[in-house]
Amino acid sequence: MFKISVLYPNTSGSQFDIDYYCNQHMPMVKEKLGDACKGIAIDEGMSGDAPDSPPPYSVILHLFFETVEAFQAAFAPHAEVIMADIPNYTNVQPVIQISKVLINASRSHAGELHLHRAD
């Protein structure tokens, strides 16, 4: 499993319309990516590591795909439309990271944590 993380830095003067993002942008992205996208998670930053400190990121989006190639094939045909919508919800340039998911567990999943690694 691979995760594409889109991180929106919380910098001086940055703006982020979370309502537009969740109710307009992400439904469009979900529709464009189709079944290749296996999951979506959106994190809204609440604070940094110190009490009452600002979060380093306003929002972090996580998109899950079986392979990097599946992401590229799903995203490429719609990249222009998806990227053109960014100014409708933020004035900052997002940071992108592609990661291989090694552990994916929830509290409701009993048992040991298992690494997702090929032996």
Dump pLDDT digits (tens) for 88-115.
Answer: 999 999 999 999 999 877 666 556 655 5
User: Per residue in 59-95, pLDDT tens?
Assistant: 999 999 999 999 999 999 999 999 999 999 999 999 9
Q: What domains appear along the chain, each with residue ranges and CATH number?
A: 2-100 (3.30.70.100)
> Which of these, 14, 9, 92, lies nearest to 48 by C-alpha position?
9
Position 119 pLDDT exceeds 70: no
What are the structure tokens assigned to 33, written together? 């990516």
Q: How far is Cα 27 from Cα 47, in angstroms, rounded to an integer?
A: 26
pTM, rounded to two decimals: 0.87
pLDDT for the residue numbered 17: 97
